[in-house]
Structures are given as C-alpha cells and as structure tokens.
Amino acid sequence: MKKALAILMAVLMMFALFACNKTTSGTDESAVPSPSATESAAPESSAPTDGGGTESDTDSSEAPTGEVKEMGFYDPGYDYSANRTYKFVYMISQTGVLYDMFNAAFAEWAKLSNVEYSHYCANSDNDLFLTTIETYASQGVDGYLFDADNTIYPAVKGVMDDLGLPWISCMAEPLDDDGNRSHPVAGFDNYKFGTDMAEYVIGYAQETWPDADPSVVGMLSMDFSLSPQIHVRTEASKEIFLAAGYPEENFFVADGASTGLLNADTGYNISGPIFASNPQIEYWLICACLDDYADGATRVAEQNGLADKSIATTCGGSGLINHWDAGEDSSWKSAVYCAQTLFAEPIFFALYAFVNGDTTPEDIWPEWKQPGEAYAYHALPTFIIEKDTYKEYMEWVDQYTGINWSPYDDEYQGTQFEATMTPSF
C-alpha cells in the first residue's frame, strides 16, 4: 500500500474522534498502573499483538525488503513484521479536534507497521504528564509521540534523556530554555500559514463587500503566543493586512495564551470582548491559529448579528471538515490544511526509524537541516480547502496513503496534489 502515484486526498468517512485516555489500537485494552492517586487519569495500553502487519491494499507482488526506501516515511515494500512489535504511545496535554485526528492517524499508521499503539491525555496537568512518561517506560514503551504543553519541552527532553528512549514531538516545535530547537520536527512554514490566511480573507472581503470602506474592516488574529511558531502567523497576517491598505488600529489580536487552553470555549471567550468593544468595525476578517478558536469566534460573530459580515479561516481544517460533512455552513469558509494522515506520516516513521536503530535525531532528514541547526525541520505542503474542493483533496490523500478515511471516492475527479516539498534554503 505504498503511496499511490495519485496525489489528492480522501476516501472513507472522517475517522471517529477518540476520547482521552483510550487506546486506539483495535486490540484488547489493559490498564496501566496509575502514576497518581487519580485512577481516571491512568494511561491505557493495548494488549500485545501477534506481530503481524496490516496487509496493503496496493500491489504486493514485490517481495518485502529489509531496508526502507526513504527514511522517516512509510514504505509498503518494507517488511515491518520482520521486526519486533514495538510499543508507541501518543501523549497529549489536553484534548481537541486536531489531537483526536492525530490519534486516529497514528493508529492507522501503527496498523500498517506492526506497532502496538496507545493514547494518553494528562488533562492539562504538566506534572502528571512528566511522571506518566516514566510510568509508560516501566511498561515497556519503546517510543513516544508528544503533544506536550509548549513550556515543558525542556523538562520532557530531560526526562527522555534520562530514560534513553526515542521520542518526537507532533504539533509543537520542542525548544530548549534558550529558544533553540531541541529535536527534529515535521511541520509547516508558519509565516506562510499567516500570509495564506490573511490573503484569503482579504480576497474574500474585496470580492464579497467591494464597497466596504477600509476604516470599517477589522482583522482578528487568534493567537497563542506561548508558541513562537504560532505567533509568527499573527505577525505575517498583520503584515498582509497593513500592506492591503487597512489601518493598523483595525488589527486585533485575541491571544489564548492568557488561558493556556486550546478549545472552542476559549476561542469564544477571547474574541467576544473584542467584538463587543469595537462596534465601529462592520466587517470582520478572522484568522485563527487552530480550528477550535475559529469555532468560538464564528459563534461570537453569529451572536452579534455579523454572520454575513464576517469571514473566518484557520490553520487546521479537521474541525471544519466535520462541520461540512454534517451539512453545516457558517462564516468559517476555509482552512490552510494538510490532511492529518499526511502530517502524521513523517512524525510516526521518524520515531520508528529511531526505535529501529535506522538513524538518529541528529541525522534524520539531512536535506532539511539548515546551517547551524543541530536538528532538521521538515516542512510539509499545505492547501487551502473550501467547501467545494475539500472532498477532492481528501480523496487524493486516501489514494496516496492507502488509508481509506473519507467517503467521497465517487466524487473524486483525479486531481493530483503535492505530497512533499523541496527545501528552499
């Protein structure tokens, strides 16, 4: 089931969301001893598998090989079942749509690579997060996928260095106390995220409300400044907004860092006061750093009677696709998107390469390591999805990955997208 030369995304329905503290391996569940007195916070782990991999849907006439073709990516011609059944865990600090989708994507890649996979949420308890790492180590976990609170990555790295176990971060770039990258990352060009969002909403506004005076048009950038890479998106959006001729005083920032939370209620709570205190703004251009914040802000716009005078976009898209699949429409019209299965692939298989002894964090993706950097930052391509185009992209992704997530195969027109990028430095 290698990457079919088709390059656009989709095929079965969006994977069901997975609850926190649940394993997604599809095997029997057994509780791991709780690292604290709170039994409900105990991680769960999959029962051992029989060591067999999941059969590919593509041509299997080629005999499995003992060496992957491209380090850090899935290779359907590689015999993963020849290796020991490794144990991976995806540990998150808090819940959210994107974390749920990552969980589902990792579970699918685990099936294809003979990996026993489990999922754990610390419910925003950083101390519990750190102690649970050690609990999993005592249970024989071989590799860790982390979406920790950004502020604790130095502590996470310290624990992992002590344990001597492989790990990789997922959505957040791990930085040390001096702000330097402390591990390899697969992610996105965050400046481009910000420019793409701003250009989309400005283009929409100019086409939809051509007579709107710039003085009554405001941009709301929904930020999470605790994360430097997320904050770059706000800076880029502001540059585009000002370059388009809008006044600087009409640029507003709703920063979720004040709460530390990344959910829809936070998006609602941080955007509501800005709408209420700026009645002079008649049209709102909303650029959200993640889906949940976009959900909250569009709810505020609707409650203020501005649903037809606002336009929202986001970095993410899984939550928006869920709305579209449910037949729901709102002022949230697009997302700068990379399918979760595509995003998850290099993360999962970089970890696999570390666990399997194929490469090291210092050596993986050498073409993506900039001069002076100790670790690579592997950038992935993104696409702007809208209600009329997302199914085409999703079907292509299904064909490329061989993971049948989306139910739109009858509507696929054969469009090809890019699955990889070339470094520009």
Residue 212 tokens read as 């709107």
Per-residue pLDDT at 40 exceeds 70: no
pLDDT of residue 65: 65
Distance of alpha carbon 342 from the chain centroid: 10
Measured over all CA atoms, what is the biggest interatomic distance in the chain, rounded to whole angstroms? 67
Spatial separation of the C-alpha atoms in residues 64 and 303, rounded to whole Å: 57
Per-residue pLDDT at 53 exceeds 80: no
Q: Are strands 283-288 and 310-315 parallel, antiparallel or unpaired?
A: parallel
Please state whether the predicted TM-score (pTM) of the whole model is above 0.85: no
Give 64's pLDDT tier (boundaries 50, 70, 90). low
Q: What are the angstrom distances between the C-alpha of 190 and each of 47, 198, 234, 379?
A: 39, 13, 9, 10
Q: Are strands 86-92 and 115-121 parallel, antiparallel or unpaired?
A: parallel
| DSSP per position, 265-310 | HHHHHHHHHHHHT-TT--EEEEEESSHHHHHHHHHHHHHTT-GGGE
Residue 148 tokens read as 């920790």
Q: Evaluate whether 146 touches 170 at the Cβ level (below 8 Å).
A: yes
- In the structure, how many helices (H) and strands (E) does the chain have? 10, 14
Spatial separation of the C-alpha atoms in residues 15 and 100, rounded to whole Å: 9
What mean pLDDT comes out for the span 190-217?
Answer: 97
Q: Evaluate whether 288 touches 255 at the Cβ level (below 8 Å).
A: no
Q: Evaluate whether 375 touches 181 at the Cβ level (below 8 Å).
A: yes
| 66-75 pLDDT per residue, tens | 777 788 899 9
| 136-160 pLDDT per residue, tens | 999 999 999 999 998 999 999 999 9
Backbone phi, then psi, for 18, in 5-degree steps? -105, 135
